[in-house]
Amino acid sequence: MEIAKRLEPFGESIFATWSRVAIEHNAINLGQGFPDFDAPDFVKEAAIKAIRDGENQYSRSAGHPKLVHAIADTFELDVDPMNEVTVTCGSTETIAAVILGLVNPGDEVIIIEPFYDSYLACLSMAGANVKMVTLHVPEFKLDESELRRAFTDKTKMIIINSPHNPTGRVFNKEELTLIASLAIKHDAIVLSDEVYDKLVLTGSHIPIATLPQMKERTITLRSLGKVFSVTGWKIGWSVAPSHLTESIRNSHQFLTFCAATPLQVAAAEALRAPENYFKQYKIEYRERRDLLVKGLRDVGFNVHTPEGTYFVLADHTPFGFDDDVAFCHHLVEKCKIVGIPPSAFYSKSDDGKGLVRFAFCKGLETLNIAVERLMGLA
């Protein structure tokens, strides 16, 4: 295989690999995070209507006016929809657009491991100098001295993610204030990946852009797929001050130009859903989380209950494996369950080797069957 040097270390995405393994083994896929239930009817109908209404050509590159207005109207801060919001093909594209639009070769960028895999791949494509900070097992708290050490005069950006994939941590006010103070001190940009903002199951979500002096240096990243169960629509967006938005738009126009027009129109309608939709959504996800966490503990895993997201990290070492990939192969062969081996989300420490990530964005029936099958491990 011939591949450019900048991508050599990465290989196939861990999500693609394990979704394929799930199909090959006819297993329950608790790996890649996508729901096994369908999107709500009102969201699907809105997309069908948009297609029928002729919303079928390219949209404005930075986002359909209807959608950028809906994003601004539902954001926690006052935002100028036409100058501070950029719609992309999913948040994975926003990550690429931000990094390629703002990071020069040699710039230092801090990321926190375990991390969503595309951060590191995009930073490599941009030639960034990556500084890694670890959220250590079992509680995955941010270590103040480690974070302080990572910041230098050359720090261009820090990428944070709360609610955090894959640990399920939701950063508290103290942690966010620390990040903010260091970003201000070192004049760094904060890329705040908040794609699970509607999935805070314990406590509350504080967007870092709402902290004093942070709006002007923060790029907030959000997504439609999680909250409306439409991960395949690939609609994401950034909210950022205009001087940062301009750079994001410059790269976005050459990556994809614009996201799918009818899906943007439907997204605008979805975002204006009544408050009750979001409340019910959380209630259902709490039930899914509690079922899986209890089941995992009953089987013998050590689990840190996730405060947010639809993922849970479980410590598999009670089953005698010292490697996450070996454990995941055993799991699919013995129980027909796919999980993600999280060492793919680590580069500084070996913490991932003792862990497995499960997604609980599945119907209760699926989760009950999964727990029953996991009993086969005991």
Judged by the rule CB under 6 A, the positions of this chain that interact with ligand GLN are: 15, 32-33, 92, 165
Contact call for residues 52 and 257 (beta carbons, < 8 A): no
127: left (phi over 0), alpha (psi -120 to 50) or beta: left
CB of 164 to ligand GLN, least distance (A): 11
- φ, ψ of residue 356 to 5 degrees: the values are -140, 140
- The residue (of 24 and 187) whose beta carbon lies closer to ligand GLN is 24
CB of 32 to ligand GLN, least distance (A): 5
CB of 201 to ligand GLN, least distance (A): 17
- The residue (of 361 and 374) whose beta carbon lies closer to ligand GLN is 361
Cα separation values, 22 from 25, 32, 79, 91, 327, Å: 5, 10, 42, 24, 15
- The residue (of 50 and 87) whose beta carbon lies closer to ligand GLN is 87
Strand, helix or coil at 359? strand
Joined together, the tokens standing for residue 341 give 């081996």
CB of 137 to ligand GLN, least distance (A): 19
- The residue (of 311 and 321) whose beta carbon lies closer to ligand GLN is 311
CB of 277 to ligand GLN, least distance (A): 22
CB of 29 to ligand GLN, least distance (A): 10
Element (H, E) at 88: strand 85-89
Give the closest residue to 233 by CA, choosing from 254, 269, 260: 260
How far is 291 from 284, CA to CA, in rounded Å? 11
How far is 40 from 205, CA to CA, in rounded Å? 24
CB of 270 to ligand GLN, least distance (A): 19
Which string of b and e fits 226-235 if b means at least 16 CB within 10 Å?
bbbbbbebbb
CB of 59 to ligand GLN, least distance (A): 22
Element (H, E) at 66: helix 65-74
Strand, helix or coil at 32? coil
- The residue (of 81 and 342) whose beta carbon lies closer to ligand GLN is 342
- The residue (of 87 and 214) whose beta carbon lies closer to ligand GLN is 87
- The residue (of 32 and 94) whose beta carbon lies closer to ligand GLN is 32
β-sheet bridge partners, residue 155 = 108
- The residue (of 131 and 357) whose beta carbon lies closer to ligand GLN is 357
- The residue (of 55 and 193) whose beta carbon lies closer to ligand GLN is 193
CB of 342 to ligand GLN, least distance (A): 10
- Chain residue at closest Cβ approach to ligand GLN: 33
Tell me, rounded to whole angstroms, the distance of Cα 22 from its chain centroid: 21
Instruction: Find all residues with CB under 8 Å of 34, minimum gap 6, and list them.
Output: 225, 231, 232, 359, 361
- SS3 of 185-199: HCCCEEEEECCCCCC
